[in-house]
A and B are shown apart, each in its own frame.
Chain A
Amino acid sequence: MKESLSLVQRLSAHPDSRCWFVSWSPNGTLLASCGGDKAIRIWGKEGESWVCKSVLQDGHQRTVRKVAWSPCGNYLASASFDATTCIWKKKSDEFESLTVLEGHENEVKCVAWAPSGNLLATCSRDKSVWVWEVDEEDEYECVTVVNSHTQDVKHVVWHPTQELLASASYDNNICVYKEEDDDWECRATLTGHTSTVWSLSFDATGQKLASCSDDRTVKIWRECPAESGQDVSWKCVCTLSGYHSRTVYDVAWCHLTGALATACGDDAVRVFKEDETADPEQPVFSLAAHMAKAHSQDVNCVAWNPKEAGLLASCSDDGDIAIWRFQEED
């Protein structure tokens, strides 16, 4: 048995600009993309092919860097270089701008919803991470501003089941936050990468976290019993080096199959699989598929469909989205 990536469809998603990010809706039927053309596009399946269902324009004045669906699938949040985050509400096939979250001093780099849907995190070049609370009336209130990073914060991601937040930064570090007495605090700083950490992804259990970096490596971190006191502790248990020839911009851990995909500045998409017989304290990953020239320029994002195992979306500086099927060959 050998695994392979095969192309399902290629979409010219953001022509003449970058496509920065793609995100699947929780039920896996819609894919949202965003880019340098300041637009968000929603893609859905018609028959056998993926088509553009709607275009969300006029929400942002500058590049839309990332988008995130709420766990219920009824809301979409978009983070923009215009220093704002827009919340869009889905009404049948249309999306309407519900509110605009302001406060960051400059570019918002990422937005993520907590698994409960009641909390939202944003991060910015202003070095801060903000946690917002959402109430029943769709009102958003900033509950915490955390300044644990010393540089531009690139990415935020929530634990799949707990209210635990992680962030990645240009300062080469990863921070893990928990709420304590109504305040969010950095409880662990994960050091080890030697350049910008671009993205993070938890595995299905939330016990492991993958990070990717400008240092051309991917690191796997594991939650450990705290050594002293009650603080959380994460240790690097594996480093994937020698596989990527340029910056690794994104990493995605499939919660259905456990496969780990990477998006790289060398235009390739790679998929790694964990050796199930290895010691969980010292996991071993092997390269299962390598799609060189997956795009004609840098790959910015990889995203596994949350419901259809093996369906992977990627997007690139060339403006395209590609949809791939990762499967075992007979």
Chain B
Amino acid sequence: LVGGGAMSGGTRLENANPVIFQRSGERQLTASEEDDDVHDPIDDREIFDILSINDPEHPLSLEELNVVEQVRVKVDDAGSTVGVEFTPTIPHCSMATLIGLSIKVKLLRSLPDRFKIDVHITPGTHASEDAVNKQLADKERVAAALENSSLLEVVNQCLSTRSV
């Protein structure tokens, strides 16, 4: 799924000086969310919080690089769908598929099985947008990629929680 070379050695960074964005504050819990008797559907902010994923080449989260933003997360709990658009830091980023795959895997692992998860590149932000979107939407190729132990290791590295 991902071309060779990703994460191998890290001799040259593709985007050496990324713009760093302010992280959003801690989520404020409402009274009804703390009440176990109230049905509490999954909302956009919860999905966004799940996506505290590390960038493959920088010691930064996808949020700090503005790759993921809460406004580009759309969840419909009743309809069991989650859509996430992510924005590569540069239009030729070779990590785009890996980042999208990490987002997809994180959501697959975190959400109940009933959810349909669609991960796309923010329209107009990547040179190979259609090709990357098609790969990420092909569950057979995603399944095959995740049986590749070295690729799975890279994805898990992106998904591992880093102490900030």
Contact = CB atoms under 8 A, between A and B. Distances in A.
Given A195-B134, A297-B114, A152 B141 contact: yes
Contacts of A211: none
- Kindly state the interface size class of chain A when it binds its partner: 20 to 34
Contact of B114 (A36, A109, A152, A296): A296
A62 B147 contact: yes
Contacts of A247: 137
A16 to B, nearest CB: 11
Given A106-B144, A196-B134, A196-B138, 15 more contacts: A62-B144, A62-B147, A63-B143, A63-B147, A81-B143, A81-B144, A107-B144, A109-B140, A125-B144, A214-B134, A246-B116, A247-B137, A298-B139, A317-B113, A318-B113
Nearest to A298: B139
Interface string B140-159: 11011001000000000000
Contacts, number: 38
Q: Is the interface of B mostly helix, strand, loop or mixed?
A: helix
A65 B113 contact: no
Contacts of B114: 296-297
Interface of B: 113-114, 116, 134, 137-141, 143-144, 147
Contacts of A109: 140
A154 interface: yes
A79 to B, nearest CB: 12
Contacts of B137: 214, 247
B134 A18 contact: no
A59 interface: no
B128 to A, nearest CB: 14
A195 B138 CA distance: 11
A310 interface: no
Contacts of A65: 140
